[in-house]
Structure 1
Amino acid sequence: MDSKAKYSQFIKSEAKRLGFLSCGISKAGFLEEEAPRLENWLNKNHNGQMAYMENNFDKRLNPTLLVDDAKSVVSLLLNYYPEKEQIADSYKISKYACGKDYHFVIKEKLKELLFSIQETIGEISGRVFVDSAPVLDKAWAAKSGLGWIGKNSNLLTQKVGSFYFIAELIIDLDYDHATTDHCGSCTACIDACPTQAIVAPYIVDGSKCISYFTIELKENIPMEMKGHFDDWVFGCDTCQDVCPWNRFSKSHNEPLFNPNPALLSMSKKDWEEMT
């Protein structure tokens, strides 16, 4: 085994020790296939009022513009699928938002991973990314072999579905092979979307997504959307809940992601009395 392969194996073992579901490594460079897709998505205003998506177009497609001398992207998945869920008679909150803020939880794990890499391999420069910089997380995770981007635009895996966070280290490492698409003829996510935000296979109009309306939009929700939210009040998991691959989802093992019991037991009446 050559040194790069040995280092790659070490990184993946260390990531597993820190609680990450999986780890993949891909060669940093320009995402040629993603460029026209992103440009077309923006031209159709699928980003709605998320103007920040239009910024740093070149950097989103090429991590070497984000990190000097970057050679590889290390993609990591951290499971957030909860063991316990909200009661049936409740307004719904996306599963990822029921525990501690994932940005802080994952960033600490990434810092520890980077420190371990530097201690073992030597002088390695790199940066950690947790949904806080112009990085196309799903594209890099797919490129590193962790899964494929499904028709609902989420990263899917055959073993555990899609309920996980994606994060990156951009450093110098060897890279792996990609995973193929396994959506087949299934259209469960497209058919189930309450607002028809999945306008075509693999294309989500962000400006129609419930997560956009309940998290990103700073203005009042348009009246024409009334009655289309299926009781979701923060985010939406519908396209993931109906995905057949998520029947393999397993509960996470990160205590900080455990939901507040009081939140899970709140009824619609309890929510309405708060407003």
Structure 2
Amino acid sequence: MVQVQAWGRELGFSQIGVAGVDLSSAEQGLQSWLAAGFHGGMDYMARHGLKRARPAELVPGTVSVITARMDYLPRSTPEGWQAHELARLQRPGEAIVSVYARGRDYHKVLRSRLQQLAERIDAAVGPLGHRVFTDSAPVLEAELARRSGQGWRGKHTLILSREGGSMAFLGEIYLDLAMPPTAAVSDHCGACSACIDACPTQAIVAPYRLDARRCISYLTIEHEGPIPEDLRPLIGNRIYGCDDCQLVCPWNKFAQRSPLPDFDPREGLTGATLVELFGWSEEEFLRRTEGSPIRRIGHVRWLRNIAAAMGNALGRNDDPAVRVALTGRQHHPDATVREAVSWALDRHAPVV
């Protein structure tokens, strides 16, 4: 295991662990979450059902799961980065993309490096059956990470580490090789409720329980069609994802910078104005987001999200440039975009 951990570090992972495949004690919680409808429109989660908690059903022959954690803060992240990011929320004309999505698509980065790690293990021990995953299949990632000592489950439901906070991606290698599991760690959230208090839409309905239907990350990425009107004003200027629960978490003062250039922010995705990004044609959107996780939402959702943010900006300051940009999309061929633009143009700053 020491050798596997060393290989993991060489490949850019911050921690490697091992979990067993008996996740039966997590099944009731998963069923309860699905029964409450908290997965929203992510029908695949209900469709996969308990397979998510049964690794040996997903990949027959699996007897061990290697878990991996990879820090993703960009190399150039300044000291006091949490306050710096929170300050963006007070600039209504600025477009906020979640930190993790400003660089290369993490699916591509982790999958490639997990495969390299599996191949090194294969070369050392002989032929073995394996399959790598990162947020791409019915895998109970956070539970596997928790059991293998990557961290504990925070009240926001993300994995928290004393050494690196929660600004990290998770990945797994399902193996037909028996490996001794690594020890879990204890919970260190205590009485803190900062993440619950900070959630703009109150999506964290109780400690360790998230209603995805209210989560800004879900609404701006996974949700199809119009965003519910009552939630639009709460989205502010967030156009792809939301980091608020992580920005206020005390443990994220220990978040680590990634050594990889892959997560360095792309030009145009940090500090850009809503008007600038709303002006991207579909061709420009596809070109600028090639190899980025943002590309998968498509141009229509991109415009829908930005239109909602522009409406919120107009609700604070009636900027003529924002109105002109919105007016230019009033006759967009997609009904979702037209509706979002119409809603935004009806917003007005309060009369002082």
For residue 79 of structure 1, the aligned residue among 56, 63, 71 is 71
Task: Show the counterpart of 1:54.
Answer: 46
Could you tell me how far apart the structure 2 residues matched to 1:262 and 1:93 are? 10
Structure 2 unaligned residues grouped into runs of 5+: 281-302, 304-352
Q: What do residues 56-103 of structure 1 show as CA deviations (whole Å, max 9, x unaligned)?
A: 222111101122221111100111112348793422111111111111
SS, match of residue 220 in structure 2: helix
Amino acid paired to 2:97: I
Residue 218 (structure 1) aligned with residue 217 (structure 2): no
Task: Show the counterpart of 1:231.
Answer: 237
Number of paired residues? Answer: 267
Could you tell me how far apart the structure 2 residues matched to 1:105 and 1:239 are? 25
CA 1:43 to 1:125, structure 2 compared with 1: closer, same or farther past 3 Å? same
For residue 58 of structure 2, the aligned residue among 52, 66, 70 is 66
SS, match of residue 228 in structure 1: helix
Task: Show the counterpart of 1:3.
Answer: none
Deviation, structure 1 residue 15: 0.7
For residue 253 of structure 1, the aligned residue among 252, 259, 267 is 259
Residue 197 (structure 1) aligned with residue 203 (structure 2): yes
Could you tell me how far apart the structure 2 residues matched to 1:195 and 1:105 are? 31
The structure having more radius of gyration, on CA atoms, is 2
Could you tell me how far apart the structure 2 residues matched to 1:161 and 1:230 are? 25
Task: Show the counterpart of 2:298.
Answer: none
1:118-197 alignment, distance < 5 Å: 118-171=122-175, 172=177, 173-197=179-203
Could you tell me how far apart the structure 2 residues matched to 1:80 and 1:107 are? 15
Task: Show the counterpart of 1:242.
Answer: 248
Q: Is the 8 A contact 2:72 2:256 kept in 1?
A: no
Deviation, structure 1 residue 32: 2.3
Which fold has the larger relative contact order, with Cα–Cα distance below 8 Å and residues 6 or more apart in sequence? 1
Could you tell me how far apart the structure 1 residues matched to 2:33 and 2:231 are? 22
Deviation, structure 1 residue 113: 0.5
Deviation, structure 1 residue 140: 0.1
Deviation, structure 1 residue 163: 0.6
Task: Show the counterpart of 2:34.
Answer: 42
Deviation, structure 1 residue 268: 3.4
Task: Show the counterpart of 1:5.
Answer: none
TM-score with structure 1 setting the length: 0.93
Structure 1 unaligned residues grouped into runs of 5+: 1-7
Q: Is the 8 A contact 2:96 2:271 kept in 1?
A: no
75-84 or 136-145, larger mean C-alpha shift: 75-84
